Structure 1
């Protein structure tokens, strides 16, 4: 019935899922009742192509985005698939950050384009090296329409791209015609201060398409998100045949969300989960530090951890599972698999602090076995 697969005896640090007890079951039910009373039959009929006005207007105000630049989607992955399908095609080159969200690779590859890793260093995407790479590819006659990246509290690293690089990437996009496809999934989950400005905000919407979602802030099962883009691309999204035929995307859930946010439940819930996920982050970081060098990310759901010299993540994984824990090896976050062999991604989102502490102890035991 659900995607998560519980394995008895395993405290799994591999799943980037919300902690079940933090999902707002009662609050969502209350919003559903309000929406049914407020909208009546209008909630259950075909919706507006771009999404219901109450939610679109709330998103535009919250994100300080002008009218006509928001399209409601069935989640960030759906938005990624739609935008990529419109902007890229067979024999194009799509550049992807390294490392980055691994499940985006298949979505982008569905366009028929070739995926290539963009140049990056420890701080993230490297604008100067990217400029040179883009010039080389275009000199070879290759069309390069997109760069996909998660610049804020990234999956898998938890890091945020420095402000100077954000500005340099935006400038590159605006002078070269490259579109930055900004996955802004974790923006609301900052634990040590506000998130840095989005590429979308820095660009004024020129040269950037932003993907947003309620999956991390409310619940992934809602399958509800949005795209921010310039009006011509929004018009292309709303004109898609299945959108026109179906009356928008996820209309009933979107109308319920409009009541959820209008009641103040969204802001209250985000405040709660920020505190809870901060405590979970801190619990895992503290428990790992006797075993591994760990830096606490400023937001998001993940730790990106370097292993001792000579120890491969795939080798450690087998030992970790025998000890009763698990993780995702770092190589999965590189589109060509050539990187991250000595890194592991650990999620602190899914387990309570006590379980995270125990999982870290089990990982420490697996490290001792490896030595």
Structure 2
């Protein structure tokens, strides 16, 4: 009797009928992966180059960017590579993807918890302990789950039922739904509820803090305070919304796979899944770099300097080339003059 107990009332997905991903979907998803990798690198570089931007919050954002970078790279590799003849490579790619994506969920929640502690004006000792706890949980829990999943042979090719061409959980493994939840979906779904709750609490704390500050603020500065407050309020609203919009499509396809629905192979749904899962690094770059006036101004100035430097280098090379060619002509005429009787 115990052998007939199943984790969920689902029908097994036939391994002989994989979902075919159209080339245009693969191309757009790989493009999203490239943009996400570039966005993650840009966040890391701004933290390294400009020392005055090295706040603890941005340091946590760098850790998140490291995970999103590996997520986008492993997704792109999984789409391009044919794993039917490379099962070991499939397991390795699935392990890297699973660890990086699960870690990104934890770091996203960790940043929200840190912001709440910051707005609540917690002591520095508490903040430092929080950071150490974040490292232990955000790296340790995904690593343990991946090691356990690999040990039980749970990672492999899923015929694109819960992915967009890359490897994740092997659909033929026993208790596959349990493994899908353990190595990713459980943490992803939990983030849908934890993040909005945390950011609602952060906004309430922040508004209360601003109202207290306004009581001692000079009237001439209240307009500036209101503008800054509005910008922060908008950003705090968009962070959980962007996360939900990007990741909800993979959860939808997961549910459709659980209940063996034919809608799981819908091309538009597959495209949204592919772009949503791989675009997190680019979305973070837009919210925390391109929408930051100070960083945007510095990036614009750095690009201007780089453009001027490239133009100057080209002009110098062109001038040197002209001088060399002129020198050759002069030397040739001189030699001819000496050779004449």
Per the normalisation by structure 1, the TM-score is 0.23
More helix by share: 2
More strand by share: 1
Per the normalisation by structure 2, the TM-score is 0.25
Question: Larger C-alpha radius of gyration, 1 or 2?
Answer: 2
